[in-house]
Amino acid sequence: MSTQSNNATILVVEDDAALNDAYRTILGTVGHNVLVAFNGQEALDVLAQERIEPDIILLDLRMPVLDGVGFLKEYHPEKHPDTTVVVFSNYDAHKDIDAAYELGVDRYVLKARAAPKDLIHLVDGIMNEKSDD
Amino acid sequence: MKRLGISYDQLFHAVPGYYLVVQPHAPEYTIIEISDSLAALLGVSPGTLINQRLSAIFQRIGRQSKNNSAQGLVGAIRQVIATGEPCHVLLESHRPAGATAAEWHTGIFPIKHAGITAGIIVSIDPDKPYSAEDATDDHVRRLEHLIKINQSKDEFISIASHQLRTPATGVKQYLGMLREGMFGELSPAQKEILDRAYESNERQLVIVRDLLKVAQVDGGKVSLHFEGVDMNQLVQHVTQDSADVFKSRRQTLKYHAAKDRIIVSVDADTIRMVVENILDNASKYTEEGKCVEVRVRETKKSVKIRIADQGVGISTTEQSRLFEKFSRIENILSTKVGGTGLGLYWAKRVIDLHGGSITYAPNKPHGSIFEIVLPKETNL
């Protein structure tokens, strides 16, 4: 369990309601501020409405309305250097991973492998890197 | 596909004639099926050419005619993909066993699936010229039907597996939250029950992962990134990563590196997964206190990775189906170990894609030896 010193603002973009809720609960329980969206378009809307630059975006790839790649093309991660975009996907084909990295994603995590503690460690690690910079 | 005990492979190879099937993805057309007759004509076993590029055929056929070179055949395939209409070309070749040049009449037929060309049947006939009517040849239609059914099966497995993976990932998160004490301390009994549920869920995720991997490799959807990799280093990293597992099972893991660096062009990710798979099996099917040895050595043309265990071994009758799909091998540890029977099948397909081989031999006095051979120079 994390001993939170660096509370993060995290946008979870995941179309599966149960998983979306799970990630919100896990990250919220250890003190992070969590925003949620269920597809890429909702994520863009949340970012525009809240007028925030989240520390981290956890992004699923396959989603209705606007998928993860579509979101990245609209969002342009390179224009948001303070935000770390982590793809959280169950698709691990090279072409998916390559496409995500080419669009400016920082990390790629196979979500079926990540237990709650792994998610918490991932966020802690990213926040520690940010505070070291 | 399995119906009345007859598999897709058995049905496919029952169709007479000299033919092969390639994926319609330019520029590298990959052979995904080849008939026994054509393989015999070329003097190879069918498995040798599966997953090889179409150019491998030309290495076997020998000289191509000036009008119908490899590029000519590739051009004809492109034409078939563009028009959706069959066509034929004439290949001139040496027959493998003789020196006499021969003309090989070659029909090229599109396999339409869901509105797109999903495959190409290249039907080579050393004796008979093709006519337009051959497009409706019974055996071509039978092949087309079989291939469509098989592709539908691969798609179904792929889609179903992805759909199963999402809720299973959700279960992992919720069980994980409880297990990690995010909602309060658990009693030892509660912890034990949750651990069992978590492990069952993990097994389910592994099955789904293996099904997906096999569907990808069977459907020709594995894209390999070949790059120069030091095999000594790759295997060493795998053994280092596996050290804790061996230690927890009180087994010894010994690694014998080759003397020098061996740079081979491979897809590092998939080769690493293959070695992990073999090493994991070696540990699972070996009892406590025993030893597993990993050795990398170099020959003139290849690199060999040999994994030898002192485990329960594999009976002579079961060795022949070791690399088949869903081949669970029965032994005193198999019930305890679990597994999908897909790992070795997938490993073999991946090694085939590298132009290499993977073989089994019994270890003396007991146990198993798996040897992976990867060519230093590949024509893939």
Residues B85, B102: one domain? Answer: yes
Please report whether residue B145 resides in a domain.
no
Number of domains in chain B: 3
Please report whether residue B176 resides in a domain.
yes
What percentage of chain A carries pLDDT values higher than 70? 94
For B152, B157, B174, B220, the CA distances from B164, given in Å and listed in that order, are 18, 10, 16, 22
Closest CA to B87 of B130, B24, B55, B58: B130
What percentage of chain B carries pLDDT values higher than 70? 75
Q: What are phi and psi of B280, to 5 degrees?
A: -65, -45
Rounded Cα gap, residues A30 and B350, in angstroms: 42
Nearest Cα of chain B lies from the Cα of A86 at a distance, in angstroms, of 17
Residues B186, B291: one domain? Answer: no
B92 forms beta bridges with B103
Rounded Cα gap, residues B11 and B341, in angstroms: 22
Task: From B135, B170, B190, give the residue that closes a domain.
Answer: B135
Residues B159, B99: one domain? Answer: no
Closest CA to A94 of B276, B222, B343: B222
Q: Which residue has the tokens 């998610």?
A: A119
Residues B31, B103: one domain? Answer: yes
Q: Which domains does chain A have, with CATH numbers?
A: 9-124 (3.40.50.2300)
CATH number of the domain residue B89 falls in:
3.30.450.20
Please report whether residue B142 resides in a domain.
no
Quick check: A1 and B181 CB within 8 A? yes
ipTM value for the complex: 0.87
Residues B286, B335: one domain? Answer: yes
Please report whether residue B380 resides in a domain.
no
Residues B55, B29: one domain? Answer: yes
Residues B259, B192: one domain? Answer: no
Cis-peptide, bond into residue B375, ω within 30° of zero: no
Q: What is the pLDDT of residue A1?
A: 45
**Strands A56-59 and A9-13, how do they pair?**
parallel
What type of residue is A111? K
Residues B257, B288: one domain? Answer: yes
Q: What is the pLDDT of residue B183?
A: 92
- The per-residue pLDDT for range B168-205, each reduced to its tens digit, is 999 999 999 999 999 999 999 999 999 999 999 998 89
Please report whether residue B146 resides in a domain.
no
- The per-residue pLDDT for range B6-63, each reduced to its tens digit, is 666 666 676 767 777 877 765 567 787 788 877 887 777 777 777 677 776 766 654 4
| SS3 readout for A53-88 | CCCEEEECCCCCCCCHHHHHHHHCHHHCCCCEEEEE
Nearest to A16 among B170, B177, B223 (CB): B170
Q: Tell if the pTM clears 0.90, that is, is over it.
A: no
Task: From B218, B236, B256, give the residue that closes a domain.
Answer: B218
CB B229 within 8 A of CB B271: yes
The whole domain housing B200 covers 152-218
Residues B162, B181: one domain? Answer: yes
Rounded Cα gap, residues B250 and B248, in angstroms: 5
Residues B302, B353: one domain? Answer: yes
Closest CA to A85 of A121, A113, A60: A60
- Please name the residue ranges forming H helices in B285-357: 316-319, 334-337, 343-353
Residues B361, B285: one domain? Answer: yes
| Interchain CB contact of A79 with B (< 8 Å) | no
Test mutation, A2, A14, A26, A91, chain B, max B CBs within 10 A: A26
Please report whether residue B83 resides in a domain.
yes
Question: Quick one: average pLDDT of A96-115?
Answer: 88
Question: Quick one: average pLDDT of B120-131?
Answer: 65
CATH number of the domain residue B325 falls in:
3.30.565.10
Residues B77, B185: one domain? Answer: no
Using a CB-CB cut-off of 8 Å, the residues of chain B touching A1 are 180-182
| Interchain CB contact of A93 with B (< 8 Å) | yes
